[in-house]
Structure 1
């Protein structure tokens, strides 16, 4: 009876009930009808991979999923919180609510990202910042080659990098400044003028953050002289400030600058400290002829190359640290550091030294103990003092990089060694060295920054690694991280760019490409590009980096030189 009534009423049994249609329509419109505030609240619980997918749904979701606060929280969770948990004395980092903290102290030394940058008031764009750090952790980058010389200068060129500018000096080309960001080009060039007859041997740039466009550069020369230059980034000009007279103390092996102080170290172990600007007392220490005032000239008897000079200025003191290779009675090498402390008025307060081997060690005790520097730091039987000291005896370092408190040394046996320098008011000491494995060929150069990030390059120039060494490896958690092999990553170039004016640089996805994808992309480069890449196989050991780039100086067997820029943006 019910079926007949339905048929008589002309109802179509194939149609779905009206109630289901309304439910489906309402469900399809439910997410899009939510307010932006509720949608952002939901997106805050998504992982990064899902957040990037949401940006592809529509213009609305592209804007919402790219919200700065979302990416700021993910940045803190992935890059700041793990660092804080590794550093001793840092608390209150386990709570998830800590990521929303507005206090810069919770962000460690990345608190500057919370504020406007520079005088332009530009704020941090958190998604590109996350992408930049992600690419660093995965070793994903694009590569560009900047040709700087068709023939290698003799003696070799000296290089330094600071704030996105690469400074190069040679007798033939003078002092040059190249841009490492954006349009990579030659910014400025200046001849060495009266010092051109003597080749430059070392270079340093003032890295102090004074929010100015004027950088101070110091050059050391083979004849024992040094010169000061001002680099004006705004007008793109280099101007010579001062040139000293040649000295009979020998060539200058290392220089350091933290305005207004300059330090020079000669190959004959002579240390000189100069003051170039007005002191806090108001007395101008610069002589009438414009020359810096010599504060102290000291002589050392145990400093051997390679060496690195570090200059630090505190509220009331000036600290000069010289890290150097140190020969031992065992026909091996270790490292040492000498620290000189001056007052702001220029008075010498103290000078002290330390080495990586205990000062009370007895060389004859090793007569029956074989050399064990090749063993892992986690091998059994490392509790005896003799064994601990023998592990610090290596072959002569190929390079040395010192940025307090980190001292990174490279060796010809494919390894590096990290030392931590502990400097207090009452003592100066160097920790036991931690061996770092990862390179498959001899390491020719390495550079470590003040936050523990380091880069190293092989002698053939075909292997570059990025290291996360913050805090050292004194704690058990840090040693587990070292044993797990998570302290370094090999850089995997994602695109090869051989011309500076080429704008077709491949953009990198947020999630890095696999090795197979990298190899696939590399195989599509031209034959000439591969030939150029294979020819640039030898590096002189210089390598530098900043927040966005790693730069290495390479040359081919015939002498052509090029700066290879690894761009992680």
Structure 2
């Protein structure tokens, strides 16, 4: 018998077996470009599995261009297919698919920020969580007792702004809810705040401009820059009543008082003034009075190349139909000259408002034929509402909530020739009264119940012009209820009593077992951005808390 060679035997006497692979590794020999091309054909679950294979595939399967194409094909291309008339316009179907050669695709500028690289895998995950209602939740104490009037809340570009009479104006990051960015006290002679808004034109600026209206009719414009508030301008109190709504698109500002007086201002350019200096008083361009505007209402300013559109969306009481909504749109020149003022409402032309200007009476309506009970047609039945509990307008979407657990969506059409509001479409899904709802410009909306235990996210883009949208409405697929994941966190029982009673500011997130307290209630203040939803809640004992729902 032949002896074994020493090289074939290990030191411990065991045989050193040579491994011969029957399947050679050909993937490792491919260039990165070819590997990415292969991975581009994989669905999302398989792509995630590939990231677990090795470090090499973790980097390649997480390539931003792969996830960018997946994001556009799942979330953006369906939006393009819902554009009215897109299929009849002769546009090739393949042109709706994502192409990496295009620097801009379907004008998705909100997804690409100047000077910042977009993490498309994170973007995909966040949007996926939105569609499923999956999110993390944290609760931050704001004050040990409620403020009178209620605290105002606004969210803009990841920054949460709050205004109340006791703590003044505060801002902090929504990333953790604990990082206070800035705070400033209101003037001693100012009354409680009654309206809060953020400049809609400061989306990509390092300076955020906001305006606060007060109950004594005054208002103040602030700048937030480098985590510091500065007062740009303070207006004197007015005898026209408290500021019920305010809109800001610098240099334009509009206010609405409780006596239904609309004032439109313009700040003139500050010449030879250092940054942060007090601005000159704004110029009052227009002052208009109304007798048919009822709360809840909202103001908006939309600057155009050669004109400025100022819109008021409001509640409107009518015969037969109870309450509906109306909108007044004023077109002004940059210098404040009123070009035209148009009115539209969501009711049939034969209906007549309960209130109108006695000095300018409305034309006599056509004779009304009142049908027997139960014989209203569909369009008439959809208009029978109780008084709205909240109203949110972001052109072209007008969203109204009602105390009967429903919402109504209207689409506003504004052209150079006409202004009209489409018939309302009722939205079902809530099981209790809705205290507040907020809609964004791309059709995403959030609504919260009065008790605060039910929060729903809505996808309303495009309205209900298409048959597919109507099927989704009938099937109840337009919204999803948020189902927060229970965070893993320590119990507050181990905290010292001094920390437990801490209630001023946002220094500590007190988290409770089992999630959010169901005995809390909301005041209707809800805001959201691409990553988070923020709701202001009030517990049964009176303490206020800020609840942050994180989809990342």
- TM-score, structure 2 normalization: 0.84
Specify the alignment match of 1:94 in structure 2.
93
Displacement after TM superposition at 1:36 (Å): 2.6
2:314 aligned residue (304, 314, 324): 324
Q: Matches of 1:276 and 1:367 in 2, distance apart?
A: 53
Alignment map for 1:485-564 (pairs within 5 Å): 485-496=476-487, 529-530=512-513, 533-534=516-517, 537-564=520-547
Q: Deviations over 1:299-335 (max 9, x none)?
A: 1111000001111101011101100110011261000
* Paired residues of 2:157 and 2:203 also in contact (CA < 8 A): no
Specify the alignment match of 1:122 in structure 2.
116
Alignment map for 1:74-473 (pairs within 5 Å): 74-90=70-86, 92=91, 94-95=93-94, 98-106=97-105, 108-114=106-112, 117-118=113-114, 121-182=115-176, 184-196=178-190, 198-209=191-202, 211-232=204-225, 234=226, 236-278=227-269, 290-330=280-320, 332-361=322-351, 364-370=368-374, 384=377, 387-473=378-464
Displacement after TM superposition at 1:536 (Å): 5.4
Q: Per the alignment, in what secondary structure is the counterpart of residue 81 of structure 2?
A: helix
Note the residue ranges of structure 1 that are not aligned, 5 or more in a row: 1-21, 283-287, 373-383, 502-526
Q: Matches of 2:251 and 2:307 in 1, distance apart?
A: 13
Q: Residues 456, 97 of structure 1: CA spacing in aligned structure 2 closer, same or farther, 3 A cutoff?
A: closer
Q: Matches of 1:38 and 1:194 in 2, distance apart?
A: 68
Q: Per the alignment, in what secondary structure is the counterpart of residue 478 of structure 1?
A: helix
Displacement after TM superposition at 1:360 (Å): 3.0
Q: Matches of 1:568 and 1:479 in 2, distance apart?
A: 28
Q: Residues 242, 421 of structure 1: CA spacing in aligned structure 2 closer, same or farther, 3 A cutoff?
A: same
Q: Per the alignment, in what secondary structure is the counterpart of residue 25 of structure 1?
A: coil
Q: Per the alignment, in what secondary structure is the counterpart of residue 121 of structure 2?
A: helix
Q: Matches of 1:486 and 1:528 in 2, distance apart?
A: 32
Q: Deviations over 1:350-385 (max 9, x none)?
A: 11110001223468433523386xxxxxxxxxxx5x
* Paired residues of 2:432 and 2:450 also in contact (CA < 8 A): yes
Specify the alignment match of 2:15 in structure 1.
none
Q: Residues 64, 231 of structure 1: CA spacing in aligned structure 2 closer, same or farther, 3 A cutoff?
A: same
Q: Deviations over 1:474-500 (max 9, x none)?
A: 22222122223221111111134789x
Segment drifting more, 350-359 vs 22-31? 22-31
Q: Residues 84, 444 of structure 1: CA spacing in aligned structure 2 closer, same or farther, 3 A cutoff?
A: same
* Paired residues of 1:104 and 1:112 also in contact (CA < 8 A): no
Note the residue ranges of structure 2 that are not aligned, 5 or more in a row: 1-17, 273-277, 352-365, 493-509
- TM-score, structure 1 normalization: 0.82
1 or 2, which has the higher helix percentage? 1
Displacement after TM superposition at 1:180 (Å): 0.8
Runs of 4+ that moved beyond 6 A: none
Q: Residues 279, 425 of structure 1: CA spacing in aligned structure 2 closer, same or farther, 3 A cutoff?
A: farther
Displacement after TM superposition at 1:337 (Å): 0.4
Q: Matches of 1:142 and 1:69 in 2, distance apart?
A: 27
Q: Residues 301, 47 of structure 1: CA spacing in aligned structure 2 closer, same or farther, 3 A cutoff?
A: same
Q: Matches of 2:433 and 2:168 in 1, distance apart?
A: 31
Q: Matches of 2:165 and 2:133 in 1, distance apart?
A: 35
Q: Matches of 1:294 and 1:97 in 2, distance apart?
A: 47
2:35 aligned residue (31, 34, 39): 39
Displacement after TM superposition at 1:209 (Å): 4.0
Q: Residues 470, 279 of structure 1: CA spacing in aligned structure 2 closer, same or farther, 3 A cutoff?
A: farther
Displacement after TM superposition at 1:113 (Å): 3.5
Q: Matches of 2:163 and 2:99 in 1, distance apart?
A: 46
Q: Per the alignment, in what secondary structure is the counterpart of residue 146 of structure 1?
A: strand
Q: Matches of 1:99 and 1:408 in 2, distance apart?
A: 31
Q: Matches of 1:240 and 1:104 in 2, distance apart?
A: 40
